Amino acid sequence: MASSRRQYPFHLIEPKWQQYWEIQQIFRAWNPGEPVPENHPFAQRHGAHSMAAGRKAPPKFYILDMFPYPSGAGLHVGHPEGYTATDILARYKRACGFNVLHPMGWDAFGLPAEQYAVKTGQHPRQTTEQNIATFKRQIQSLGFSYDWSRELATTDPDYFKWTQWIFLKLYNSWFNPETNKAEPIETLKYPAELQSGSVGRASSRADSGDGSSVASPHQNLESARHAYRDSKRLAYVSEQPVWWCEQLGTVLANEEVVDGKSEVGGFPVVRKPMRQWMLRITAYAGKLLSDLDTIDWSDSLKEMQRNWIGRSEGAEVDFQIFGQTAKIRVFTTRPDTLFGATYMVLAPEHRLVDEIATEDRWQAVEDYRERTVRKSDLERTELAKEKTGVFTGAYAINPVNGQKIPIWIADYVLASYGTGAIMAVPAHDTRDFEFATKFNLPVVQVVQPLDPKTDWRGFVEDGTSVNSTGPEISITGLPTAEAKKKIAAWLEANGLGRKTVNYKLRDWLFSRQRYWGEPFPIVWKHGPDGQSHHEALPESALPVLPPELTDYKPTATGEPPLARAKDWVNLPDGSTRETNTMPQWAGSCWYYLRYLDSKNAYAFVGKEVESYWMSSRGHQSAPFSATEKNAPTNVGGYTPQGVDLYVGGTEHAVLHLLYARFWHKVLFDLGYVSTPEPFFKLVNQGLILGEDGQKMSKSRGNVVNPDDILADYGADAFRLYEMFLGPLQDTKPWSTRNVEGVYRFLGRVWRLFVDEKSETEFEQAETTAGTSSRACQSAEVRGFTSAATNLLNLIKLDSVIKDVTARPSQLKTLHACIKKVTEDLDGLRFNTAISALMVFVNEAMTWETKPVSVLRDLLVLIQPFAPHLAEELWAKLNLAFSLQPLALPYAPWPKFNPALLVESEMEIPVQVNGKLRDVIKVPADADNAAIEKAAKASEKVQPFIAGKTIKKIIVVPKKLVNIVIG
């Protein structure tokens, strides 16, 4: 920073008010039934009994930030962008009379702390606590109005006790397709063969619903029932290939694997099958998709979730295998192209491959499968890669025309989607076409493009069916949509297939081989026959704490580090604990609910409290924004509810936001929460790039440290700058130079109020006292604050601030500002709200007399943006004019009065053929005829219309005149 004089003493003002807010608990949010101390400003504004039972509480507003992962690097300038936006809104809503819930906490489990532990032996909890302390100090130095009494960390046993509790709810529930809801597992009826004493064909493993699992040779009824229930739970166990990283000695989640290498360190990873816990998120695919229509999120975000869920409508069709009893079921979105199916493809992992491959093809098939398994997903799906595959030797019968078509295996067909098998229609599918071209398979046209010039080869859009007549069914001549319907109906009627919906969404792999995560509340019981099964621990056993270890490395066998703690793992009754831990996403799935009632020892959240904050009519008492487009209201039969505004980065578009919605919906089905969606309105803040327009990164050396900005310009300037940068949602480059612009603005606000001479005296006194350094503040906070207050009291108000009635022009300036700032805050347009404040201040600087009333309103308007400066000036005004108002954060938001903006004259632009020629002044009450007359009389307009025929004159009332000439 240029070593210039401070615009104003923010270095004293900011710590002073931050400490005041904390000691007075100014930003405590009050729960229903909670007694509010009489001297708290909330009580002064709303009444001491406003939250008492049976009283109608003030409307709530729940405004939430995505809580940060407290990394060792500390805060970067991207964090405060969202936090400032939410804080401004929180302060604005508080001033508008809402009971505002604005909490902060820590998403504190995670790999970095664990890796540090592996390297140094320092317990991850210690690392985590240090990082939280840094983050908290940095966040608090920005003056956010968080209710810190609700602070939580996902790593607190009091918190993850309830994460484990929710897991038990998932474990003890199943999804009932008939009610389309999660229900307690007890409501699950056993199939007929498990109801009597007979031992039936029960599947012994997680059942994917295709009824194909092989029955165990011998099981008694009890264990068969057990297995059946286990296969239906929302939390279940299955054997899954996962990413294993030898160098890191751990398994990695998909999102930690980038381009076939570990995101951390760039080490190679391999697929390895392991026993895993899964969460049945796929059961909710339909609801997760359709309920997007009921919430106010950006189009792009909703689209990302839609793509991730990936719904496609189509049909399943059974193909008889030639010469065998087995059938192959395929999924297709284009049943209308069935006549063009000239071959079939199975995924190499498809379970029928073994059965159908002929002897002469066996070796080729086996070789191909071998190669496929070794390939990573990346290699399999790599862009523009050549198609590969081998013929199995077997044939299938096309059910519509009886044709014998070859069955291939190829890795472009994924085992995990649909049925793992496709009918290939090379004429009308790009991938099938490539494959057919490479292996010389026949290509038969069955769809005619509407435009006859379009080549039908590789034509994948809708058209008209051709060559589609078989012995029993014909769809030739039908448009695609109708052809689909007709063929689907025929398939269904003949038992050959049925309409279905498929989703790309997969079940959520929920276990990690980590130390620093929530242990599962699960034990394994080992039967005498060598069989073992899992059982839930009772709620009374929660929280399940992780054992203390000295070595955090995963074991050589790939077992989780928890397995090292033998005393912890082995229980007296011979059972053993589950040694996996939950993924980092678990804690963030429900933290917004814990904030509501973070100290509750008896429930994850109290019922009444949940209902007040999540489903009382906050939106109705004050619409978020009347002007907002696309704000869904009352969609799907219920008023949108939940968190009123959630702000965070796009990086969580599909994972956190999908997982949290899923958990919330399960809790809703089970009756624990009162809304089907957690987040009513969600906004993604845009990325802040480096000064060079590149993404900020250490390697580029363009990272801006918030602490530096704070030291040079203060928190208020930092807040203001982040908001003035541009629209919240946009990506925008950082510019330290531009910080000076808003910093100067705050200096002008300061000089609008204070007497310059007294400030000079203050500066001399400060130099003598030597308290100018920020460093001394932490040492003796109280001493610092009283010294700072004494110094600041030397600064007096400007003598032209008087208790006089404001002039009409002054009121006009003020109310234009009130209007603009209010509307812009409702629309989250912080940058233009700030420019409106600048316009006001620029104007007010020229006033020879400054009415107190106007300046007080100004401070209420500025308070959300620059709270420290506003508080200091507010205090000075109150002192000088002996006022005893509410604490500034609770002072009512000024009400815009349109009558004050009325002018006696208005300016009307006059156009000739749409081109501006003059701006005329007419009386405010002039009617259209008078305006038209004045426009034609204008001297500047005359030359353009003289001698021309006037074809038409458009007068937009009070707005504009356009004279159209020939």
Q: Which of residues 597-656 bind RNA (CB under 7 A)?
A: 650, 653-654
Q: Does 858 bind RNA (CB under 7 A)?
A: no
Q: What are the C-alpha distances in Å from 10 to residues 603, 751, 784, 792, 807? A: 43, 13, 14, 10, 32
Give 805 or 942: the residue with its C-beta nearer to RNA.
Answer: 942
Q: Does 692 bind RNA (CB under 7 A)?
A: no
Give 481 or 845: the residue with its C-beta nearer to RNA.
Answer: 845
Asked if 240 and 273 touch (Cβ cutoff 8 Å), the reply is yes
**Cβ 85 to RNA, closest distance in Å?**
14
Q: Does 960 bind RNA (CB under 7 A)?
A: yes
Out of 747, 851, 864, 867, point to the residue binding RNA (CB under 7 A): 747
**Cβ 122 to RNA, closest distance in Å?**
33
**Cβ 472 to RNA, closest distance in Å?**
22
Radius of gyration of the chain (CA): 34
- φ/ψ of 692, rounded to 5, equals -90, 5
Q: What are the C-alpha distances in Å from 738 to residues 718, 721, 724? A: 11, 8, 9
Out of 272, 525, 751, 936, point to the residue binding RNA (CB under 7 A): 751
Residue 317 burial (CB count, 10 A): 26
Q: Does 208 bind RNA (CB under 7 A)?
A: no
Q: Does 741 bind RNA (CB under 7 A)?
A: yes
* Site for RNA, residues 322 to 361, rule: CB under 7 A: 331-334, 347
Helix, strand, or coil (residue 205): coil
* Site for RNA, residues 817 to 856, rule: CB under 7 A: 829, 831-832, 834-835, 838-839, 842, 845-846
Which amino acid makes up residue 576? T
CA 665 to chain centre: 16
Q: Does 700 bind RNA (CB under 7 A)?
A: no
For residue 567, what are its two tokens? Answer: 């005393």
Give 237 or 400: the residue with its C-beta nearer to RNA.
Answer: 400
- Sheet with 905-912, strands from edge to edge, namely 915-923, 905-912, 960-965, 950-956
**Cβ 816 to RNA, closest distance in Å?**
11
Burial class (CB in 10 A: 0-12, 13-18, 19+), 706: buried
In 3D space, the residue among 487, 510, 127, 495 whose CA is nearest the CA of residue 329 turns out to be: 495
**Per-residue x/- marks for RNA, 485-504, CB under 7 A?**
-----------------x-x
* Site for RNA, residues 5 to 64, rule: CB under 7 A: 5, 7
**Cβ 919 to RNA, closest distance in Å?**
5
Give 31 or 502: the residue with its C-beta nearer to RNA.
Answer: 502
Q: Does 422 bind RNA (CB under 7 A)?
A: yes
**Per-residue x/- marks for RNA, 873-912, CB under 7 A?**
----------------------------------x-x-x-
Instruction: Quote the crossing angle between the two packed helices 78-95 and 808-826, to the nearest 10°.
Output: 120
**Cβ 93 to RNA, closest distance in Å?**
21
End-to-end Cα, the chain, rounded Å: 61
- Total binding residues for RNA by CB under 7 A? 86
Q: Does 373 bind RNA (CB under 7 A)?
A: no
For 245, the enclosing helix (H) or strand (E) is strand 235-245
* Site for RNA, residues 908 to 947, rule: CB under 7 A: 909, 911, 913-917, 919, 940
**Cβ 964 to RNA, closest distance in Å?**
4
Q: Does 699 bind RNA (CB under 7 A)?
A: no
Return the bridge partners of 237, or none: 277
Q: Does 954 bind RNA (CB under 7 A)?
A: yes
* Site for RNA, residues 264 to 303, rule: CB under 7 A: 299-300, 303
Out of 33, 310, 458, 632, point to the residue binding RNA (CB under 7 A): 310
Q: Does 199 bind RNA (CB under 7 A)?
A: no
Query: What length does the chain have?
Result: 966
* Site for RNA, residues 560 to 589, rule: CB under 7 A: none
Give 46 or 850: the residue with its C-beta nearer to RNA.
Answer: 850
Residue 576 burial (CB count, 10 A): 17
Q: CB under 8 Å to 581, separation ≥6 — which residues?
A: 511, 512, 513, 514, 515, 516, 517, 518, 519, 520, 546, 560, 562
**Cβ 432 to RNA, closest distance in Å?**
7
Q: Does 398 bind RNA (CB under 7 A)?
A: no
Asked if 312 and 501 touch (Cβ cutoff 8 Å), the reply is yes
Asked if 718 and 866 touch (Cβ cutoff 8 Å), the reply is no
Out of 126, 196, 212, 307, point to the residue binding RNA (CB under 7 A): 307
* Site for RNA, residues 701 to 730, rule: CB under 7 A: 724-727, 730
Whole-angstrom Cα distance, residue 347 to residue 353? 9
